[in-house]
Amino acid sequence: MEPVLDSLMRSYVWHPYTQMKEWPNFDVIVKGSGMWLHDSKGRMLLDGVASMWCNVWGHSKKELVSSMVEQTKKLQHSSLFNLTNNRAEDLAEKLVKLAPNMHRVFYSDDGSTAMEISAKIALQYWYNKNEKKKTRFVVLENGYHGDTIGAMSLGYVPSFFSRYKSVLFPVFRTPSPNSYRIPDGFTFQEYQDFCLDRIEKKLSKSNDIAAFIMESGAQVAGGVIIYPIGFQKKISKLCKRYDVLFILDEVATGFGRLGSIIEYESQNSIPDIVSFGKMLTAGYLPLAATLTNKRIYDTFLGASQQLKQFFHGHTFTGNPLACATALANLSLYKKYNLMSKVRRRSDQLKSYINELFKLRLVGDVRHKGLLMGIELVRDKKRKLPFGPEKRIGDRIFIEARKHGIYLRSLGHIVMIVPPLAISEKELDFLVDGTIETIKRVSDKII
């Protein structure tokens, strides 16, 4: 199967999660306008994955571009090591006011580093309290928290990270309540109770647990697993009961993706530490933020010789360009009543579920907000997934391109993750194109 892509005379770029031998050439994207990407040959693709789940308003949003330009005239970058800048200060204040029970903001560059910061803060919190035995983490199976060493350890996806297992640190993993793949002998409610019971047993019987870590609201890269109502709240209560820090990853699920600006607030599960990224700057510049409550922050205060300060930092921590863009982005949520629009588009997306289920390869459809996972299987009755040799993701990408949409699948799981401000007409175009794509791939593969 040959990819139908633009030819480049030469390229020195090594692409992420891509077999370069099979993809020697790539479309050259030269412009973005609204929800659309334009390539060097004048063709247009609807951005169906929000440029890896981070785009909010579409491309070239005037207010965001203007904020970036204006900031470049004043201050492009200044270190946050013993200095500060107005944009970093303003954004931190904005985030603390948005996120219930949070007190301080630590900046970084992306979701992986934000989650590594979360883990380091948790470990040093207990160290500063002289409870040095608390060094282990409990996480949900199928979680994903990024591609750096610590993030891979916390969110281990075997197909991604098995090659690096020798350098990852051990964590305790507990089952995640996937409503489509329930073990034999369980109802879904019984399986939820089983998952919670496993968590409680680990937290109650181990005195070395520093924190429980999970994605907030849903597991995204782990297969679009939407948590059942109350599941996350019950975990937060278990953490409080057994004096374990509760850490949430809202890098992909915060700022509207699942229908709430702060997802943990809608889940009624207040964390000790939470990380944001991706849509923080609407996908325009790299920026992430890790927030903690006052109890956590206060343990890092003391005389300098006590060495209680947090030993972490990045060159571009609190970059004023990125912070200015984030401030402009967040101001537009209220200006354009974005969350009301997200709820309408979510209902529109939901209306397609029955039609999707009728497709020959579709085993399950999971949806919340503007996130949808369509699981393709080779046998609906036995729920058998396709193996990597079928190259389902590549087939979906190539076929979708013919229908004017950009999709990036997680193996056999097709994801619809559009920019939050997508119009009704464009969302119909995206989902109709996805349905036609799955039909065409189905005809070719079986």
Q: What is the pLDDT of residues 192-238, one digit of tens each?
A: 999 999 999 999 999 999 999 999 999 999 999 999 999 999 999 99
pLDDT in tens, 117-142: 999 999 999 999 999 999 999 999 99
Q: How far apart are the first and last CA of the chain?
A: 15
How confident is the prediction for the chain on average, in pLDDT?
Answer: 96
**What's the Cα-to-Cα distance from 55 to each of 282, 303, 417, 418, 445, rounded to whole Å?**
5, 43, 9, 8, 32
* Predicted local distance difference test score (pLDDT) of residue 421: 98
- At residue 14, the pLDDT reads 93
Rounded to 5 degrees, what are φ and ψ at 172?
A: -90, 130
Q: Which residue has tokens 């790539």?
A: 26
Q: What percent of the chain has pLDDT over 70?
A: 98
Name the token pair of 292: 């903690």
Query: CA 353 to CA 132: how far, in whole Å?
Result: 50
Of 291, 214, 191, 204, which Cα lies nearest the Cα of 242?
Answer: 204
Q: What is the pLDDT of residue 3?
A: 44
CA distance 209 to 244: 6
CB atoms within 10 A of CB 21: 6
Tokens of 125: 């919190």
Give the pLDDT of residue 5: 45
- Rounded average pLDDT over 78-94: 98
Q: What's the pLDDT score for residue 360?
A: 95
The average pLDDT across 59-69 equals 98
Q: What is the pLDDT of residue 25?
A: 84
Where is 375: in which H helix or E strand?
strand 371-379
Does the pLDDT value for residue 2 go beyond 60?
no
Do 63 and 284 form a contact (C-beta atoms < 8 A)? no
Alpha-carbon distances of 116 from 31, 309, 343, rounded to whole Å: 33, 16, 32
Single-letter amino acid code for the residue at 72: T
- DSSP calls for 210-241: EEEEEESSEESTTT-EEPPTTHHHHHHHHHHH
Question: Which phi and psi (to 5°) does residue 200 adopt?
Answer: -60, -40
| CATH among 3.20.20.140, 3.40.640.10, 3.60.21.10, 1.10.3720.10 for 66-335 | 3.40.640.10
Q: What is the pLDDT of residue 9?
A: 55
- Residue 299: pLDDT above 60? yes
**Cα 356 to chain centroid, rounded:** 24
Confidence of residue 92 (pLDDT cuts 50, 70, 90): very high
Read off the pLDDT of each residue in 110-114 and give the average, rounded to a whole number: 98
φ, ψ dihedrals at 151, nearest 5°: -65, -40
Residue 435 has pLDDT above 70, yes or no: yes
Report pLDDT for 425: 98
Question: Residue 368 forms beta bridges with which residues?
Answer: 371
Residue 113 has pLDDT above 60, yes or no: yes
pLDDT at 446: 66
Report yes or no: 45 and 401 within 8 Å, Cβ to Cβ.
yes
- Is pLDDT of 183 > 60? yes
Bridge pairing between strands 225-226 and 371-379: unpaired
Range in 96-100, 108-112, 188-192, 385-389 with the lowest mean pLDDT: 385-389
CA–CA separation, 327 and 280 (whole Å): 9
pLDDT tens digits, residue range 136-159?
A: 999 999 999 999 999 999 999 888
Q: At 96, give phi and psi (nearest 5°).
A: -65, -35
338-445: CATH topology is Aspartate Aminotransferase, domain 1 (3.90.1150)
Confidence at 23, pLDDT banded by 50, 70, 90: confident
Helices (H), 76-157: 86-98, 111-128, 149-154
At residue 10, does pLDDT exceed 90? no
Domain with CATH 3.90.1150.10 in the chain: 338-445
Q: pLDDT (tens digit, 9 = 90+) per residue, 377-397?
A: 999 999 999 988 899 999 999
160: pLDDT strictly greater than 70: yes
CA distance linking residue 151 with residue 167, whole number of Å: 12
Whether 4 has a pLDDT exceeding 50, the answer reads: no
The mean pLDDT value for 287-308 works out to 98
CB of 173 within 8 A of CB of 205?
no
Q: Which of 31, 30, 32, 23 is nearest to 5 (CA)?
A: 23
Across the range 291-307, mean pLDDT stands at 97
Residue 8 has pLDDT above 60, yes or no: no
The DSSP secondary-structure symbol of 278 reads G
Contact 233, 198 (CB under 8 A): no
**pTM score over 0.85:** yes
Strands (E), 234-334: 245-250, 273-276, 288-292
Q: What is the dihedral angle through the alpha carbons of 181, 184, 188, 192, rounded to the nearest 10 degrees?
A: -90
In whole angstroms, what is the distance from residue 141 CA to residue 148 CA? 18
Hunting for tokens 């729920």 — which residue is that?
383
Question: How many degrees, rounded to 5, is the angle at CA 386 between CA 395 and CA 21?
Answer: 45
- 168 and 149 in contact (C-beta within 8 Å)? yes
Confidence of residue 329 (pLDDT cuts 50, 70, 90): very high
In angstroms, what CA-CA distances link 82 with 79, 85, 93, 319, 415?
8, 11, 18, 14, 43
- Give CATH 3.40.640.10 domain extents, the chain: 66-335
